[in-house]
Chain A
Amino acid sequence: MNKIFSVNGPVVRVRDTKDFSMREMVYVGNKRLIGEVISVAADYTTIQVYEGTTGLMPGEPVYSTGNPMSAVLGPGIISNIFDGIERPLKKLEEISGAFIAEGAAVSSLDEQKKYDVTITVKEGDTLMPGDIYCTCPETAVVVHKCMLSPFSKGGKVIWCAENGEYSLNDTVVKIQTENNEVEELSLCQKWPIRTPRPVKERLPITRPLVTGQRIVDTILPVAKGGTAAIPGGFGTGKTMTQHQLAKWCDADIIVYIGCGERGNEMTQVLEEFSELIDPKTNRPLTDRTVLIANTSNMPVAAREASVYTGITLAEYYRDMGYHIAIMADSTSRWAEALREISGRLEEMPAEEGFPAYLPSRLSEFYERAGYMKNLNGTEGSVTVIGAVSPQGSDFSEPVTQNTKRFVRAFWALDKNLAYARHYPAINWNLSYSEYVDDLSDYYKKNVHPDFMKVRQEISNILVEENTLMEIVKLMGTDVLPEDQQLLIETARIVRVGFLQQNAYHKDDTYVPLEKQYLMMKTILCLYKSCRKAMSEGVSMEELLKTGLFEKVVKMKYDIPNDKPEMFDEYEKDIEKTLAALSAERAQK
């Protein structure tokens, strides 16, 4: 029997044992707290405990399980809320009340619930790892597909159950492997959370994750299977942006990981997502959402595990052929959990006390995203969008800098934009997306052949404004020549009328790509027509008096999403008004 030797916060050591393997799940103490082996040395085995260790004594037993820390994968995951080690929080509430007690033994998924199972194989079929053998409706919008575990060697189906009602652990199919062993397949399987699930191959990235957020979709797109980071100091709207993306992006399933964040925020997600109706399916958003909530006051080791649990669930659904988007809020809290545990292990720290393996852990995590061809031939993707909370709002700190190396879209949130309540507060000058080129064909084909051209012109206006702002900050706009004043004014329209988006407005909260394109086109139409009028002698003041600028700023509210034809009227109006001005000028 192995016994606890020392306790230091969440870190427990066992002395002189050879019974444990790395990353093995163990039960610690009389209360059977869940833990994981994180280092094995000749004299000590070190365990991180996923629950509070108050009252734990040396001499209490440590039980080995022989298995790595794993997630249970099967129907019942969607619309559930778990803690960092996949324990359902609602079940925990039933057992221990409002405050989470230690050692509460619950199974991850509901083992009693019956699912309406359709068997998709017949006797004599060959099943290979990843192949689907049965399906069942999990929620109104997600069909769950049970697949042969990648650990299996595969074999011939020798027995199938009838279609009908089964619960999680019922055997529905039996296969015989080459070695004549019989494997019984139920509706669920286990997978170690720190190991990526295997795929056939990684496919090139071609499709955007459409989010309905203008600055993201047009200026800084992220691809399905891509990675993006949202760094920002506190109060800049990281969580708000993540909520918006989770609500509106066109992924099939959302995995929302609340990693070391506020409890009330998770409650808000729970409440809001169950009330919001997804326009595509007409069902509540919870029908396609999994929540993983390991709030800041919950045990720190489970926070470290929560991102792995989340991405494992995502990969499992990807293997069924779904497109998943993961919102990880916030990866900095995860990095801090690594630091905290590393400190307890007295490891040699690298930058700012973070362990030297921080970059490798971050890259391992982000590399699990991708657009994949699965073992069973289907295609699916996992998109990872991670919030970063830079300490001291300083982007040069280790987590932000290392994240920047491993993501391809970087949406830097800006304090000054947030102060002026310009949301989403993504700073277009500091942010970038490497997906623009990969996705240009998609936009040209599916939105408009001119889309990329228009997008570039809008970006150019913002870039030019940025250069002019240096002067404006020193001298004011009045000293600029008229054509530059026009540029500044147009840039204002781009900022206020286009980039700024109101999450609380019924139309503006989600804008289809077509409308985004038409909005940009209208702004450019105004800009070009004004330039033309100016060349014919019309002054900036006269242009401002027309009220066209204000009208275009408000088009995001005034033109409903389903009436794109109204943009034609706007353009006609612009051209007519300005032509009249030019004519007036010519007469004088």
Chain B
Amino acid sequence: MSVRYIGLSEINGPLVALDKVHGIGYDEIAEIRLDDGSRRLARVVQIDGERAVLQVFEGTAGLSLTNTQVRFEGKPMELPLSKEILGRIFSGSGKPIDGLGEIYPEKFADINGKPLNPVSRTYPRNYINTGISSIDALMTLIRGQKLPIFSGSGLSHNKLAVQIVRQAKIADENGQDFAVVFGAMGVKNDVADYFRKSFEDTGVLQKVVMFLNLSNDPIIERILTPKCALTAAEYLAFEHDMHILVILTDMTSYAEALREFSSSKGEIPGRKGYPGYLYSDLASIYERAGIVKGSKGSVTQIPILTMPNDDITHPVPDLTGYITEGQIVLDRNLDATGIYPPVSVLPSLSRLMKDGIGEGYTREDHQMVANQLFAAYAKVQDARALSSVIGEEELSSADKAYIKFGTLFEEHFIRQGAEENRTIEETLDLGWKLLSTLPKSELDRVDEEHLEKYYSAEKAAELN
């Protein structure tokens, strides 16, 4: 028999306070029942003696100091789980919203998760072929990695994410044990629909678990969405040995929800009003990617975030970049010139790439080609800057070669159809073809042996 507390002491934004409560724990879940019979969920975020502060997931609209009854569940927020969740759609707090009824749970898991012991991790080494040249060659995705897409409003990050889902060979040969967990935080209805439709078209819908908190859904629920999604992902990966790709969009909305919650709680803000614990909080999400020793499954994360004002130094992309293992940065200028995917190569990076490529994984010359392409494309930027000052005519012949290389690189290597799926061989050969448009002496990141093997001026001529 659980105690019900009638009435509230205070309502402030998404937070409510109760006095004279006993025997409740930090992070515990409570159910608030209104006089009209509707129910809302809340979580204990602070306890001071007999006073408890709760955040209400569905918002506090309609709540008064007298029309509620609060009952504490005696445990933290838990998500009911079973393999049936595949193909289902849930709200941001894990309630089924596809009209197919409750799931029959095999177990309940605390959505906060627990930190994975570093000695229990397996270092990720298996690369995932996405069929997208810029990603495969230059910022290779590794199974168990967290590789976010840094984008801006209006760029084609969703299209890119869908292409990755469609083409990525994430599972082993048979392709059976593969699933996608999709977490939407504060995205528009259209975006959620786009993903749903794309999954349907690709025929993977039965392998997708969706957690939707759309932009008109309550803010506080948004804070739970990635935690629910990752709890489901960990369950499928580590208890059912599946390879899970988690797509979280949009992390900026998530961080903003966190900021709103923090400020209504009266916390001291850090940078740009975001709470001081934003780094730890984001880490508790991103670090839930990985591979656990002794388990066949894996959790790979592709979070998407839109950089406010395309500013990569904004706290959300900045802190994300410090936690995740690299980033894929999209560029508005490339997008404006009609290049898809508009991957801005230079600031993009995959930290796990070095151990998952080369002989035995992709091809022995992969690292060299990638380094050389990066180095050459960096010089293209210098040459372009120079040419905008003195004009292309005045450039030295080497700089002119770089300008040309830059254009060809963007046209042939970065640009790729949304349906086009290139093998790693095709991609690397294309890389060599492009490098061959430069004089041999400029290629200082590749060794003689491979230069001999792959450098071919004739092939380069095909590009013109």
**How far apart sit A309 and B280, CA to CA, in the bound complex (Å)?**
20
Asked if A295 is an interface residue, CB under 8 A from chain B, the answer is yes
Q: Which residues of B contact A298 (CB under 8 A)?
A: 115
Asked if B25 and A55 make an inter-chain contact with CB atoms under 8 angstroms apart, the answer reads yes
Task: Give the nearest-CB partner of A98 in chain B.
Answer: B120
Interface: A182 (CB within 8 A): no
A99 touches B326 (CB 8 A): no
Q: Which residues of A contact B290 (CB under 8 A)?
A: 263-264
A310 to B326, CA, bound (A): 28
Known: A53-B26, A391-B271, A419-B378. A504 touches B354 (CB 8 A): yes
**Residues 383-413 of chain B, each 1 if its beta carbon lies under 8 Å from chain A, else 0:** 0011001100011100100000000000000
Say yes or no: A81 contacts B367, CB within 8 Å.
no
Write the nearest CB–CB distance from A559 to chain B, whole angstroms: 15
- Interface set, chain B 115-146, CB cutoff 8 A to A: 115-124, 144-145
Known: A340-B277, A476-B399. A263 touches B27 (CB 8 A): no
In the complex, which residues of chain A have a beta carbon less than 8 angstroms from the beta carbon of B114?
52, 99-101
Least Cβ–Cβ distance between A323 and chain B, in angstroms:
27
Number of interface residues of B (CB under 8 A): 86
Interface presence of A58 (CB below 8 A):
yes
By the criterion CB–CB under 8 Å, are B287 and A267 in contact?
Answer: no
Question: Across the interface, do A93 and B287 meet the contact criterion of CB distance under 8 Å?
Answer: no
B271: contacting residue among A15, A266, A299, A352, CB under 8 A: A352
Task: Give B65 Cβ to nearest chain A Cβ, in Å.
Answer: 22
- A residues within 8 A CB of B23? 57, 59
Q: Is B450 an interface residue (CB 8 A)?
A: no
B321 at the interface (CB under 8 A from A): yes
Q: Is the CB of B325 within 8 A of A93?
A: no
Question: Inside 8 A of A454's CB, which chain B residues have their CB?
Answer: none
Of B172-180, B332-340, B344-352, the one touching chain A: B344-352
Contact partners of B276 in chain A: CB under 8 A: 336, 339-340, 342-343, 353
Q: Does B420 contact A (CB under 8 A)?
A: no
A475 contacts the other chain (CB 8 A) = yes
Given contacts A54-B110, A58-B49, A394-B313, contact A262 B325 (CB under 8 A): yes
Q: Which residue of chain A is the closest to B238 with respect to CB atoms?
A: A98
Chain A residues within 8 Å of B75, by CB:
55
B293: interface (CB < 8 Å): yes
Contact mask A488-515 → B, CB, 8 Å, 1/0?
A: 0000000010000000100000000000
A116 at the interface (CB under 8 A from B): no
List, in ascending order, chain B residues with CB within 8 A of A561's CB: none
Complex Cα distance A59/B76, Å?
18
CB contact list, A518-564 vs B, under 8 A: 550, 553, 557
Nearest-CB distance from B224 to chain A (Å)? 14
How many Å from the CB of B138 to the closest CB on chain A?
10
Stretch at the interface among A4-12, A135-143, A149-157, A575-583: A4-12
Cβ-defined contact, B386 with A234, below 8 A? no
Contacts of A293 in B (CB 8 A): 118
Chain B residues near A553 (CB-CB < 8 A): 444
Chain A residues within an 8 Å CB radius of B119: 81, 89-90, 93, 267, 270
Interface pair B321/A235, CB less than 8 Å apart? yes
Instruction: Determine if A473 is an interface residue (Cβ-Cβ < 8 Å).
Output: yes
Does A349 count as interface, using CB distance less than 8 angstroms?
Answer: yes
Which of B22, B122, B351, B374 touches A421 (beta carbons < 8 Å)? B374
Residue of B nearest to A330 (CB): B322
Q: In the complex, A26→B445 CA distance in Å?
A: 56
Q: Write the A33-73 contact mask toward B (1 if CB under 8 angstroms, else 0).
A: 00000000000000000001111111100000000000000
Q: How close is A588's CB to chain B, nearest CB, in angstroms? A: 25
Main secondary structure of the interface of B (DSSP, over half): mixed
A430 sits at the interface (CB 8 A): no
Name the residue of chain A whose CB is nearest to the CB of B292. A98
Within 8 A of A (CB), among B215-230: none
Cα(A16)–Cα(B324), bound, Å: 44
Whether B27 pairs with A54 at a CB distance below 8 angstroms is yes
A550 to B440, alpha carbons, bound, how many Å? 12
Q: Across the interface, do A7 and B47 meet the contact criterion of CB distance under 8 Å?
A: yes
A6 and B375 form a contact (CB under 8 A): no
CB-based contact B444/A496 at 8 Å: yes
B116→A474 contact, CB < 8 A: no
B112 at the interface (CB under 8 A from A): yes
B441, CB-defined interface residue at 8 Å: yes
Q: Are B386 and A297 within 8 A (Cβ)? A: no
The smallest C-beta distance from B372 to any residue of chain A, in angstroms, reads 9
Bound CA span A270–B293, Å: 14
In the bound complex, residues from chain B placing their C-beta under 8 Å from that of A504 are: 354, 367
Q: Are B26 and A260 in touch, CB under 8 angstroms?
A: no
Tell whether B417 is near chain A: CB-to-CB under 8 Å.
Answer: no
* 1/0 contact string of A455-488 vs chain B (CB within 8 Å): 0000000000000000001111110000000000
The residues of A that contact B279 with a CB separation of less than 8 Å are: 260, 296, 333, 336
CB <8 Å contact, B349 and A353:
no
**Which of B33-41, B187-195, B262-270, B428-436 forms contacts with chain A?**
B262-270
List the B side residues contacting A101 at CB < 8 Å. Answer: 114
A301 to B434, CA, bound (A): 51
Indicate if the CB atoms of B275 and A264 lie closer than 8 Å: no
CB of A97 within 8 Å of the partner chain: yes
Is A346 interfacial (CB-CB < 8 Å)?
A: yes
Select B120's contact among A97, A235, A296, beta carbons within 8 Å.
Answer: A97
Answer whether residue B17 sits at the interface, using C-beta atoms and an 8 A cutoff.
no
Does A586 reach chain B (CB closer than 8 Å)? Answer: no
Known contacts A235-B327, A270-B118, A296-B323, A5 near B49 by CB under 8 Å: yes
Asked whether B28 is an interface residue with its Cβ less than 8 Å from the other chain, the reply is yes
Interface: B364 (CB within 8 A) = no
For residue A388, give the distance in angstroms from its CB to the closest CB of chain B: 11
Contact A6 B396 (CB under 8 A): no
In the complex, the answer to whether A268 meets B123 with C-beta atoms within 8 Å is yes
Complex alpha-carbon distance, A470 and B276, angstroms: 40
Tell me whether A393 is interfacial, beta carbon within 8 Å.
yes
- Min CB–CB distance A474 → chain B (angstroms): 6
The answer to whether A296 and B280 have CB atoms under 8 Å apart is yes
Q: Residues of A contacting B371 with CB < 8 Å?
A: 421
* Residue A111 lies at the interface, judged by CB distance under 8 Å to chain B: no
The reply to whether the CB of B48 lies closer than 8 angstroms to some CB of chain A is: yes
Contact of B288 with A by CB under 8 A: yes
A81-B48 in contact (CB<8A): no
Q: What is the CB-to-nearest-CB distance from A523 to chain B, in angstroms, rounded to a whole number?
A: 16
Complex Cα distance A260/B286, Å? 13
Structural contact, A98 and B270, CB atoms closer than 8 A: no
Is A271's CB within 8 Å of the partner chain B?
Answer: yes
B29 to chain A, nearest CB (A): 11
The CA of A90 and the CA of B293, in the complex, are separated in Å by: 13
Contacts of A473 in B (CB 8 A): 382, 385-386, 389
Judge whether B318 and A391 touch: CB under 8 Å.
Answer: yes
Q: State the CA gap A170–B122 with chains docked (Å).
A: 37
Across the interface, name the chain B residue whose C-beta is closest to A54: B27
Q: Which residues of B contact A346 (CB under 8 A)?
A: 268
Of all chain A residues, the one with the shortest Cβ separation from B399 is A476
Q: Which of B47, B117, B319, B385 contacts A98 (CB 8 A)?
A: B117
Least distance between B233 CB and chain A CB atoms (Å)? 14
Are A295 and B287 in touch, CB under 8 angstroms? Answer: yes
**B contact set with A: CB distance below 8 Å:** 22-28, 46-50, 75-76, 110, 112-124, 144-145, 238, 267-271, 275-277, 279-280, 283-284, 287-288, 290, 292-294, 313-315, 318-319, 321-323, 325-327, 346-347, 349, 351-352, 354-355, 367, 371, 374-375, 378-379, 382, 385-386, 389-390, 394-396, 399, 441, 444-445, 447
A sample of 12 inter-chain contacts (CB < 8 A) reads A6-B46, A9-B277, A52-B112, A100-B115, A262-B287, A295-B287, A297-B115, A299-B115, A339-B270, A476-B394, A477-B396, A553-B444
The 5 closest A-B pairs by CB, nearest first: A296-B283, A392-B313, A420-B378, A234-B321, A353-B270
Q: A264-B121, A264-B123, A550-B444 are in contact. List 20 more A-B contacts (CB 8 A).
A: A6-B49, A13-B48, A52-B112, A55-B76, A56-B25, A59-B23, A101-B114, A264-B290, A293-B118, A297-B280, A333-B279, A342-B268, A352-B271, A353-B269, A392-B314, A474-B390, A475-B389, A475-B390, A476-B394, A553-B444
